[in-house]
Amino acid sequence: MRVPLSLPITVLSLLSSTVAYPYGETEAVLLREPETNQAKANAVKEAFQHAWDGYMKYAFPHDELTPVSNGHADSRNGWGASAVDALSTAVIMGKEDVVNTILEHVRDIDFSETSDTVSLFETTIRYLGGMLSGYDLLQGPAKDLVSDQSLVDGLLTQSRNLADVLKFAFNTPSGVPYNNLNITSNGNDGATTNGLAVTGTLVLEWTRLSDLTDDKEYAKLSQKAESYLLSPKPSSSEPFPGLVGSSINIKTGQFADASVSWNGGDDSFYEYLIKMYVYDPKRFATYKDRWVLAAESAIKHLQAHPETRPDLTFLSSYNNGNYDLSSQHLTCFDGGSFILGGTVLDRQDFIDFGLELVNGCEATYNSTLSKIGPDSWGWDPKRVPDDQKDFYEKAGFYINSGAYVLRPEVIESFYYAHRVTGKEIYRDWVWNAFVAINSTCRTDSGFAAVSDVNQANGGSKYDNQESFLFAEVLKYSYLAHSEDAAWQVQKGDKNTFVFNTEAHPVRVVRD
């Protein structure tokens, strides 16, 4: 394994701590890279605890810590997003005290009150997904962690309360929901279309809620909305089999365009097609068929190789005869999706292509000075910025946005690659990414987004720590190094949990 780039920084900080602490042992331990996976898992736990302590000290019960100024922000309606998003990770890490703190917080949330617009999508994936996952884990393989069963039951009660607050969103002529809601007036933002991802990334959480409560309404609402995505109209909105446009008319359920990609805005629609099949292969075979078509079409039509680095594979996007040769950190969930679909359906071609995508995403990480990948990049030879000609020549891409906002998708796909192939290289890549994030983004109270991954120190720090740091980055980093468990991704059809798009494991349906 390569030596983490952070080593010189670590050495510097150790030198100063040698002055502060006259005891030699701490330094010796820190200097050595952890040798075992257990030690690496513990290092991820340490990072989680660091961020949790900062959040508790400065921000709880607000949505998130502002990690540079040590204050707080409420970007997700002020219901304590970081706490709810941290729950399933804290359960998996076995952090009993953190879990109890979160459960007591969830019990006291009033989901009917907020002064801000509510995003149906964000609220579903973070809050609803977080609570349902906590319930599934604490009712199942992590049963021993919490002694007060009423706190566990409260997760389901509150999931239902939240869904009951939100469900008016689906009350439209077609059943395609509004995304931006006023829950005080049961109003909306007046949009005429809704996006592909925000419409198509509800069905796992809302179906799970119905399955757990025996109230079919939630599943029905989300599946009705999804039905328009599974049978797209007009036919021109599906330029390649399975690949569909990016916005849907709320009145008619018809697609409003034929702009195709696996990027942000479209991404988790494709992700959930195969995950619904993992959730329940009996009920969701059609979803799987649609995913297979989309995956085959992506291989055939969207696969792209930079001129200067033909060994790399990215997915381009397509609109009306034109290909856009650019991609995003968000898109890097794609490798994991192909690998999951490939192993579940026993399709080695999908696994192989997923690993190609994983390699491409690793290249975006290991080509930069911080060893973290950019938020977006391109490889169109006609658009290379003058000051990036050398970089493009070598790396195969140029950076469009060099920010890193604590996104998980690259580590997520490394994790799938490791679980399914068993190859150590992918776990090493998780570790390298974690070490780079820990050394680049860490502040005294948590982790900050950074402005420029192609500076060794990440450029400047933004005063922002998204709740998905807890839900996703630290969870996938931890899972890659911790032992096998019921919630881990498995090869073939052995999965007993499936991860929602916010990395909350949801228990699958088994007879």
Ligand X SMILES: *[C@@H]1O[C@H](CO)[C@@H](O)[C@H](O)[C@H]1NC(C)=O
- Which residue, 21 or 236, is less far from ligand X as judged by CB? 21
Half-sphere exposure of 136 (CA within 13 A, CB side): 28
Least Å distance, CB 115 to ligand X, is: 6
Figure out which of the listed residues 75, 117, 213, 421 binds ligand X, where binding follows CB under 6 A. Answer: 117
Q: Which stretch binds ligand X (CB under 6 A): 84-92, 208-216, 235-243, 435-443?
A: 435-443
Least Å distance, CB 1 to ligand X, is: 9
3-state secondary structure of 88: helix
Q: Which stretch binds ligand X (CB under 6 A): 67-75, 99-107, 143-151, 181-189?
A: 181-189
- Which residue, 425 or 486, is less far from ligand X as judged by CB? 425
Q: Rounded to whole angstroms, how far apart are CA atoms 132 and 222? A: 16
185: contact with ligand X by CB under 6 A: yes
- C-alpha distances in Å from residue 55, one per residue of 65, 94, 98, 231, 287: 5, 19, 12, 44, 39
442: contact with ligand X by CB under 6 A: yes
Least Å distance, CB 367 to ligand X, is: 7
Given the structure tokens 């490798």, which residue do they identify?
335
Figure out which of the listed residues 188, 328, 438, 445 binds ligand X, where binding follows CB under 6 A. Answer: 438
Given the structure tokens 């884990």, which residue do they identify?
137
366: contact with ligand X by CB under 6 A: yes
Q: What is the DSSP string of 172-196?
A: SSSSPPPSEEETTTTEE---SEEEH
Residue 364: name the closest of 336, 392, 324 by CA: 392
- The catalytic site residues sit at 375
Contacts of 305 (CB under 8 A, 6+ apart): 311, 312, 313, 314
Least Å distance, CB 2 to ligand X, is: 5
359: contact with ligand X by CB under 6 A: yes
147: contact with ligand X by CB under 6 A: no
Q: Which stretch binds ligand X (CB under 6 A): 177-185, 194-202, 231-239, 455-463?
A: 177-185
37: contact with ligand X by CB under 6 A: no
Check if the beta carbon of residue 399 is closer than 8 Å to that of residue 391: yes
Figure out which of the listed residues 363, 399, 503, 508 binds ligand X, where binding follows CB under 6 A. Answer: 363
| Residue 201 amino acid letter | T
DSSP code for 457: T
Residues 387-426, one symbol each (x = binds ligand X by CB under 6 A, - = not), give ----------------------------------------
346: contact with ligand X by CB under 6 A: no
Cis-peptide, bond into residue 385, ω within 30° of zero: no
Tokens standing for residue 108: 């006291």
User: Which stretch of DSSP H or E encloses residue 289?
Assistant: helix 285-297
Figure out which of the listed residues 18, 26, 171, 184 binds ligand X, where binding follows CB under 6 A. Answer: 184
32: contact with ligand X by CB under 6 A: no
Check if the beta carbon of residue 195 is closer than 8 Å to that of residue 146: no
Angle, helices 217-230/285-297, rounded to nearest 10 degrees: 30
75: contact with ligand X by CB under 6 A: no
* Measured torsion, CA atoms of residues 122, 123, 129, 131, in degrees rounded to the nearest 10: 150
Q: Which stretch binds ligand X (CB under 6 A): 261-269, 362-370, 415-423, 492-500?
A: 362-370
DSSP code for 44: H
Residue 117: name the closest of 59, 60, 177, 166 by CA: 166
Question: Is 368 labelled a binding residue?
Answer: no
Beta carbons within 10 angstroms of residue 5's beta carbon: 19
* CA 505 distance to own-chain centroid: 12
43: contact with ligand X by CB under 6 A: yes
- Which residue, 159 or 367, is less far from ligand X as judged by CB? 367
Residues 223-262, one symbol each (x = binds ligand X by CB under 6 A, - = not), give ----------------------------------------
How many chain residues bind ligand X (CB under 6 A)? 17
| Residue 6 amino acid letter | S
Q: Which stretch binds ligand X (CB under 6 A): 87-95, 103-111, 182-190, 320-328?
A: 182-190
Q: What is the DSSP string of 349-375?
A: HHHHHHHHHHHHHHHHHHTSSSS---S
30: contact with ligand X by CB under 6 A: yes
Residue 79: name the closest of 102, 57, 62 by CA: 62
Figure out which of the listed residues 435, 441, 474, 498 binds ligand X, where binding follows CB under 6 A. Answer: 435
Least Å distance, CB 90 to ligand X, is: 19
- Which residue, 98 or 363, is less far from ligand X as judged by CB? 363
Residue 290: name the closest of 182, 398, 196 by CA: 196
Q: Rounded to whole angstroms, how far apart are CA atoms 300 and 481? A: 34
70: contact with ligand X by CB under 6 A: no
- Which residue, 8 or 187, is less far from ligand X as judged by CB? 187
Figure out which of the listed residues 108, 116, 148, 393 binds ligand X, where binding follows CB under 6 A. Answer: 116
Least Å distance, CB 48 to ligand X, is: 11
Figure out which of the listed residues 37, 182, 388, 464 binds ligand X, where binding follows CB under 6 A. Answer: 182
| Interacting residues toward ligand X by CB under 6 A | 2, 13, 30, 43, 116-117, 182, 184-185, 187, 359, 362-363, 366, 435, 438, 442
Binding-site sequence positions: 501
Binding-site sequence positions for Ca(2+): 501
